[in-house]
Amino acid sequence: MKTARSKGTWGTRFLIRLLAVAMGVLIFWLLGFLMRDIKSIGGPDYDEIEKKYVDQTLVDRQQGVQGRIDELGREFSSKRQQQQLVGESSQNLQRTIGQLLELKRLSIEKNVSLTEAEERDLSLSLTQFLESQKANQELNATMADLTRQKLQSEEELLRIEQRIADSREPAEEEYNRLEELHRLRLAAYQLAVLVPLLLAATYLVIRNRASIYFMLFLALGGATLFKVSLVVHEYFPSRYFKYILILALLAVVVRCLVYLIRLVAFPRIDWLVKQYREAYERFLCPVCEYPIRIGPRRFLYWTRRTVHKVLPRGDSPSEAEQYTCPSCGTRLFEECPECRKVRHSLLGHCMHCGAEKPLA
Ligand SMILES: [Zn+2]
Ligand SMILES: [Zn+2]
């Protein structure tokens, strides 16, 4: 028989679990840092790829035409400002001419002629007015010309941009291809670190199921498994991930089921002993649960639940006796071969001399 292991107080057990969880979290962090470092490996450079596919003279021309368009726009707005100034001054002149003509009309009515200075002002204003009108027309013509040039340049720019966009398409395709490759490479690197770790952790967890350090291995295994599933989820489309996850879960569930079924079919000896011990404590046959009616309990009736309420009356110490379950025929109390007293047949040690009996 193995000696029973001390379980420790509730507090120590709780602390051990808490520390195991903390250890799992720390391992998870550590793996996270490792994965981040792997991810920092550089990927493809889009600008480099674009240079290979897109004609650089086209790009230069695009920049030139764009510059010309900007320049034409600036010129156009400066002409427009000039035109505004010219318009204002011609309005002023118009007003002056109007006043002078009014003066002339009045003087004709009153039969007096305008002074020489006034006549000179009038003819000067008229000349200036005509000049400003002319300047205005010239400005209009220039602005029309600028607009036409700008439109032409814009059309040219559109054509160049179209050609650049056409040649950019294969560049983008190549970039996407390289980027996908890069992602797969990163996933491979990360899994190359994680999967061996996961396998080792799983092996340790399975091998050390009964070890006192089981919690340590469980924390390592849990943290690694969680990280692996995160990495797989990040790199593989969820369509595939779904299947991977389901298959992994299925494997775990089947493993647990097999374990439980085997436990029932081939019970482990310590579980069996525990079950026997509890049955003996309740004075029930460990095999069929029929009451063990010996000594003062001979004429009582009880079940697993009522055993502690049904107490035998009187305290007449009864002679220990050998006993076989009348229901299933299992031997429950027998003579000890060492001390010749009566002992439990299904427990490991004789209660009188402690002689050990191998349990099959
Ligand atoms: Zn029985
Ligand atoms: Zn004995």
Ligand with the closest atom to the CA of 343: 2
Ligand with the closest atom to the CA of 293: 1
Residue 332: φ, ψ to 5°: -115, -35
Ligand with the closest atom to the CA of 290: 1
CA 198 to chain centre: 20
Neighbours of ion ligand 1 (CB under 5 A): 285, 287-288, 290, 325, 327-328, 330
Query: Which contiguous run of DSSP H or E holds residue 26?
Result: helix 10-39
Q: 296-310 pLDDT, tens per residue?
A: 788 888 887 787 777
Ligand with the closest atom to the CA of 355: 2
User: Averaged over 186-191, what is the pLDDT?
Assistant: 90
CA of 290 to the centre of ligand 1 (A): 5
Q: 70-80 pLDDT, tens per residue?
A: 999 999 999 99
Cα–Cα distance measured from residue 320 to residue 322, given in angstroms and rounded to the nearest whole number: 7
pTM of the model: 0.46
Name the token pair of 94: 């118009």
Q: Note whether 323 and 292 are within 8 A (CB).
A: yes
CA 90 to chain centre: 71
CA of 306 to the centre of ligand 1 (A): 18
Ligand with the closest atom to the CA of 279: 1
User: Averaged over 5-18, what is the pLDDT?
Assistant: 76
CA of 355 to the centre of ligand 2 (A): 6
Neighbours of ion ligand 2 (CB under 5 A): 336, 338-339, 350, 352-353, 355
User: Averaged over 285-303, what is the pLDDT?
Assistant: 85
CA of 295 to the centre of ligand 1 (A): 17
Q: 327-353 pLDDT, tens per residue?
A: 999 999 999 999 999 999 999 899 999
CA of 357 to the centre of ligand 1 (A): 20
Query: What stretch(es) of the chain map to CATH 1.10.287?
Result: 46-181
Protein fold of 46-181: Helix Hairpins (1.10.287)
pLDDT at 2: 40
pLDDT at 154: 94
Q: Measuring CA to CA, which residue among 326, 357, 19, 47 is closest to residue 174? A: 47
% residues pLDDT > 70 (the chain): 95
Given pLDDT bands bounded at 50, 70 and 90, which one contains residue 178? Answer: very high
Cα–Cα distance measured from residue 160 to residue 90, given in angstroms and rounded to the nearest whole number: 44
Given pLDDT bands bounded at 50, 70 and 90, which one contains residue 8? Answer: low
CA of 277 to the centre of ligand 1 (A): 14
Name the token pair of 304: 């697993």
Q: What is the DSSP letter of 295?
A: G
